[in-house]
């Protein structure tokens, strides 16, 4: 079961690293604290508060655990479906905040670049967090749920 979750994550990391090498960019240019707080942390906090922290932890563990019940797998699949929707919602929110900041400061060229970076990095973080965390766990849960039938 671990390989169904970890191997897709490793493929994503490999493809991203290969793309960065091919484009000759440094990883530091993709670091934005505001976007990181908004996109990965915001949806996890939301789901933890909405589902309850114990149920959120159970959603992660039932994707790994071989003896998870059908009810646990259904709850896990619902959790990750909701998490994926929130990841993209928060990514879109960060993008809109960045674009609004760009448009409100078009005359200040020094602020256009950093504000545009927030807009784009928010969407990048949403894609990465979805591909590295939410999607592999959701696929593992739904696949195990289908096998339980």
**Which one is predicted more confidently, 27 or 92?**
92
18-66: pLDDT as tens digits: 888 888 888 888 888 888 899 999 999 999 999 999 999 999 999 888 8
Q: Terminal CA-to-CA distance of the chain, rounded, Å?
A: 17
> Which candidate, 45, 118, 119, 141, places its Cα nearest to that of 86?
45
Per-chain mean pLDDT for the chain: 90
Specify the pTM: 0.86
101-141: pLDDT as tens digits: 999 988 988 888 888 888 899 999 999 999 999 999 999 99
Residues 6+ apart with CB under 8 A from 141: 59, 62, 63, 73, 76, 77, 80
């Amino acid at each position: 079961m671990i390989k169904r979750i970890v191997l897709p994550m490793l493929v994503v990391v490999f493809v991203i690293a290969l793309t960065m090498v091919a484009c000759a960019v440094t990883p530091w240019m993709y670091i934005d604290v505001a976007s990181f707080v908004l996109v990965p942390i915001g949806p996890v906090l939301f789901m933890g508060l909405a589902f309850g922290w114990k149920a959120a932890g159970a959603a992660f563990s039932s994707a790994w655990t071989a003896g998870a019940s059908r009810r646990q797998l259904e709850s896990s699949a619902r959790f990750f479906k909701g998490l994926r929707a929130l990841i993209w919602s928060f990514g879109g929110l960060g993008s809109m905040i960045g674009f609004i900041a760009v448009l409100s400061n078009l005359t200040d060229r020094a602020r256009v670049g950093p504000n545009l970076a927030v807009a784009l990095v928010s969407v990048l973080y949403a894609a990465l967090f979805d591909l590295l965390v939410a999607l592999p766990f959701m696929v593992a849960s739904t696949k195990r749920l289908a096998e339980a039938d």
